[in-house]
Amino acid sequence: RRALPPRQQRSAAAAAAACPEGFYRSSEIIWHCGGATGSADVLVPRGNEAFEVSIPAGVVDLRLDATAAERIELRVGSDRPVGGGLSLRGPTPQRLVLGILAGGGTRKPTAKVKVALHYRFSSLAPCPDDPPGCLPFDRGAASRMVLDWSHRLRALRASAHEAWAVACSAAE
């Protein structure tokens, strides 16, 4: 069997990481029935507030690693830390919550730490109709959210230029 050309490999990987038509990505990881390998960058607040990643019941042979330029800690539920990674053989018996805590270091003035998640799992069973990590897209609700956000931003800033500068710096 011949390998796909690099461009088609990238397209196949993007399609595997995507939600079905009519849905949007609501999580860092989309839990496809046939498994997946991938990575995602998340911004984790410094301090005692954990960033949570939901792992559905039935994820088989999960390996998840997290790396950052600063000290981070992973916890499953309220249990003790699990180091920089999580490795589970067989299916997860129930939904798990992976909490990511970022050290309160003051080397950088930003309020968040960029954490790279690298994950691999072989399958999800039983296979739901819609993959966990995707939610139905509602065009009307999305429009209302964008308008509400725009009105709040405009109310806080004197000009559109200042509002966009603030919005873009918060996204970094």
Q: Cα–Cα distance between 53 and 133 in angstroms, integer?
A: 10
The two tokens of residue 154 are 């405009």
Q: Cα–Cα distance between 163 and 123 in angstroms, integer?
A: 44
DSSP-assigned states of every residue in 99-155: EEEE----SSS-SEEEEEEEEEESEESS--SS-TTEEE--HHHHHHHHHHHHHHHHH
11: pLDDT strictly greater than 70? no
Q: Are 72 and 114 in contact (CB under 8 A)?
A: no
78: pLDDT strictly greater than 90? no
Structural element, H or E, at residue 68: strand 59-68
**Mean model confidence pLDDT for the chain:** 81
Q: Cα–Cα distance between 93 and 73 in angstroms, integer?
A: 23
Kindly indicate the confidence band of residue 4, based on its pLDDT and cuts at 50, 70 and 90: very low
Q: Count the Cβ atoms, other than its own, within 10 Å of residue 134.
A: 20
pLDDT digits (tens, 9 = 90+) for 17-67: 688 888 888 888 999 999 999 999 998 888 777 888 999 999 999 999 999
